């Protein structure tokens, strides 16, 4: 069975960021995502906007590597300064790359 390399981008953010994040996913061309509520406790760093005790969501999206790059670049420049948020990349393998 052939598999193809893709990237999973996981975004954990305030629920407040839901609309702008899903709009961004559409703008970079992501073909789908999942989203679910999580409890969490954020970095105890200096920024009060860091991820709140409750009311966070986890958004997961599978995209080609170049889309992942665009997505992270825009998250970094446009979203990280405004929202309590973390994001990370994982390498995954899919069967049908045309779906993503």
Give CA separation, 28 vs 62, 65, 66, 83, 92, in Å: 12, 12, 10, 19, 19
Do 38 and 21 form a contact (C-beta atoms < 8 A)?
no
Distance in angstroms (rounded) separating the CA atoms of residues 75 and 68: 10
CA-CA distance, 38 to 86, in Å (whole number)?
Answer: 13
| Between 16 and 87, CB nearer to a copy of itself | 87
Instruction: State the nearest-atom distance from the C-beta of 55 to a copy of itself, in Å.
Output: 12
Residue 24-63 contact track with a copy of itself, rule CB under 8 A, x = bound: -------xxxxxxxxxxxxxxx----xx----x-x---x-
**16 interacts with a copy of itself by CB under 8 A:** no
Residues that bind a copy of itself (CB under 8 A): 1, 3, 6, 8, 10, 12, 22, 31-45, 50-51, 56, 58, 62, 69, 72-73, 75-76, 80, 86-96, 99-100
């Amino acid at each position: 069975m052939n598999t193809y390399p893709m990237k999973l981008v996981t975004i954990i953010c305030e629920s407040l960021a839901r609309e702008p994040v899903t709009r961004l996913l559409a703008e970079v061309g992501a073909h789908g995502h999942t989203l679910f509520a999580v409890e969490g406790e954020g970095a105890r760093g200096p920024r009060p906007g860091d991820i709140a005790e409750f009311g966070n969501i986890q958004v997961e999206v599978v995209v080609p590597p170049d889309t992942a790059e665009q997505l992270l670049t825009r998250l970094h420049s446009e979203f990280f300064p405004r929202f309590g948020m973390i994001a990370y990349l994982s390498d995954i393998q899919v069967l049908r790359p045309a779906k993503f």
